[in-house]
Chains A and B, each alone.
Chain A
């Protein structure tokens, strides 16, 4: 556990350093260090590039990755399904439909509006799923099925808009939908971190409840857990976390699914171990994806959401391969 955490922390530190150094204009390690330590030797240009362009982007990537992986850990445990990424709650579908509508139906929508639309779409959709699934109590299976059904409706709307929208708009929407941390600034970073602190801490404090609820409703209930209330609370936390992440970065896929699975394969089943490791994995994943996305084919940029799959999927495959002799 400690080894895994320190390894990923080291990796994350290296990724941060690399993200601050590499780019269209390469800045030496010394210069970056000078800028960060506030020394007077740093040139004006370096200060601008590092502090105003690259640093917010890295921090936003870390926040988004942490958020998505934590949210994914919650949904996998609460819905008791290894395929249940936060998108199952309708978060992605709602955000995608809202954002697609804004982009295709409006002339040059401001970025701000897009983010509000994304957050509202995600929250409204998740609340609808939960209310629809509520029938004198909740049930994981019912939430999953209702989520799938409403998700299908939402994606029908998205597909309809994308099939008949103007092709330039559709392409712009696709970039937003694939998720990126392009337009990061310090204000966004601050807002998101304030927003996320409480729910993520709460998730960590509730890790033993996550352990319980995964055993099944009856087992959890007989061990004294108010299952319906706890499920509602956890889903609420998950929507808060994930909705905000989706609003600032679009749909960065696979982190919520791959992060928790990688963590489980590394440190086992207890959630007080899974949550910090998954958060670190998520942060590394998004940071490295953003770095790779802007370096590999520079000056063009690949959205981080596309690269997360390319980096995370082989890593999980490697973990599966490495443990092929274990019987699960």
Chain B
């Protein structure tokens, strides 16, 4: 038994480091690939000894931010998706259920319509603020619906707030063609054209929340067993739900502000990870962080090269590449309820 457990841990550690290595390799590749090919040597040289040459500037100013954005958005969304599915005990839950996407979209669209401009990076703060405000409202409403006792309250509250904000956003967009034009790429999710300053705006929140999420794995596993079981083993469910949702708000809010609502990652990557390594959230969360980042980095690279467009929305590529794999997993791994 003991050695069995030890080899399982060993195997998972090995898998984790392999995945991490793949992510590093993927990032290197993603920085190399582009309109001009940069050999790995140049990329590493630019990272280590920046010499101000044209190639190095290209790498540091254009390609690195893009890959960093993909990493942050991917891991933040995947981890927050996993947390949401554990907290609500519902396979359909995603960060969007907390009102994050709807709130961010509403704030961005309102800002663009009122000021008539979509330029500058001010919209990052609007998106972040909108996401946060929506999440707070969802949580408050959900607590009234009995969030402390049942995840149904949270689910309904999320659905209500999302419905309301999405409707408002839709109402604005139908009458404002120029905003629709400016916002449609954002809603599809895109990691292009982000600057270091923008990344630095969001990165601290995401990093802190990501680090915090690594410590709540135990409690999430308990929460994911359902209300009765988690309370029976002595968990303060209200406390850990609250903590989890704050983490989700920071992670997903930051990711959505930076890269737009990339729907697929938060919903499906957690499922893929659970299919692979089981339901122990102490492992699911770190694997989600790496796998989410990997998926977004690779999908963005493929979108750039295969469709030869710098603006190809990464959300589309992710779905095209990831969905078939996910379908295969869902078909083969989910057994009938017994």
A305 to B97, CA, bound (A): 20
Main secondary structure of the interface of A (DSSP, over half): helix
Contact of A152 among B92, B145, B146, B264 (CB under 8 A): B264
Q: Which of chain A's residues 135-184 have a Cβ closer than 8 Å to chain B?
A: 135-142, 144-146, 148-150, 152-153, 155-156, 159-160, 162-163, 167-168, 170-171, 174-175, 178
Contacts of A133 in B (CB 8 A): 330-331
A149 with B163: CB separation less than 8 A: no
A83–B155 touching, CB < 8 Å: yes
On chain B, the residues within 8 Å of A314 by CB distance are 160, 164
User: B300-338: contact bitstring with A at CB < 8 Å (1 yes, 0 no)?
Assistant: 000000000000010110111011101100110011111
Chain B's closest residue to A289 (CB) is B167
B interface majority secondary structure: helix
Contact indicator A258/B337 (Cβ below 8 Å): no
Q: How far is the CA of A303 from the CA of B185 in the complex (A)?
A: 23
Q: Which of B66-114 contact A (CB under 8 A)?
A: 90-93, 97
Contact between chains at A171 and B177 (CB < 8 Å) = yes
A167 pairs with B268, CB closer than 8 A: no
Residues of B within 8 A of A138 (CB): 336
- Please encode chain A, from 62 to 75, with 1 for each CB lying within 8 Å of some chain B CB and 0 for all others: 00000000000000
Residues of A within 8 A of B212 (CB): none
Binds B, one of A14-22, A191-199, A319-327: A319-327
The reply to whether B177 and A156 form a contact with Cβ atoms under 8 Å apart is no
Task: Specify the chain A residue showing the minimal Cβ separation from B169.
Answer: A306
A156:B184 contact, CB within 8 angstroms: no
Most buried by A among B91, B167, B337: B167
Would A313 and B174 count as touching, CB distance under 8 A?
A: no
Q: How far is the CA of A149 from the CA of B318 in the complex (A)?
A: 11
Question: A310 at the A/B interface (Cβ < 8 Å)?
Answer: yes
Q: For chain A, give the interface size range.
A: 35 or more
B120-154 CB contacts (< 8 Å) to partner A: 141, 144-146, 149-150, 152-153
Residues A174 and B180 in contact in the complex (CB < 8 Å), given A144-B92, A152-B264: yes
In the complex, which range does the number of interface residues on chain B fall in? 35 or more
Query: Does B166 sit at the interface, judged by CB under 8 A?
Result: yes
Q: Which residues on B sit within 8 Å (CB–CB) of A171?
A: 174, 177, 180
A294 within 8 A of B: no
Interface core residue of A156, A160, A308, A323 (most chain B CB under 10 Å): A156
Kindly identify which residue among A142, A155, A300 contacts B263, using a CB–CB cutoff of 8 Å: A155
B175 cross-chain contacts in A, Cβ below 8 A: 300
Inter-chain contacts of B144 with A (CB < 8 A): 320-321, 324
In angstroms, Cα B180 to Cα A202, docked, is 42
Chain A residues with CB under 8 A of B173: 174
What separation, in Å, do the CA atoms of A218 and B267 have in the docked complex? 28
- A262 to B164, alpha carbons, bound, how many Å? 15
- Residue B271 lies at the interface, judged by CB distance under 8 Å to chain A: yes
Taking a contact as CB atoms under 8 Å apart, the answer to whether A309 and B167 are in contact is yes
What are 13 A-to-B residue pairs whose CB atoms are below 8 Å? Answer: A139-B336, A146-B331, A153-B320, A168-B177, A171-B174, A178-B174, A257-B163, A303-B174, A306-B171, A309-B167, A323-B145, A328-B145, A328-B153
Besides A174-B170, A326-B146, 15 new A-B residue pairs in contact (Cβ under 8 A), listed by A number: A82-B155, A141-B334, A141-B337, A148-B92, A156-B264, A156-B315, A162-B188, A258-B160, A305-B170, A314-B164, A316-B156, A320-B160, A324-B144, A328-B146, A328-B149
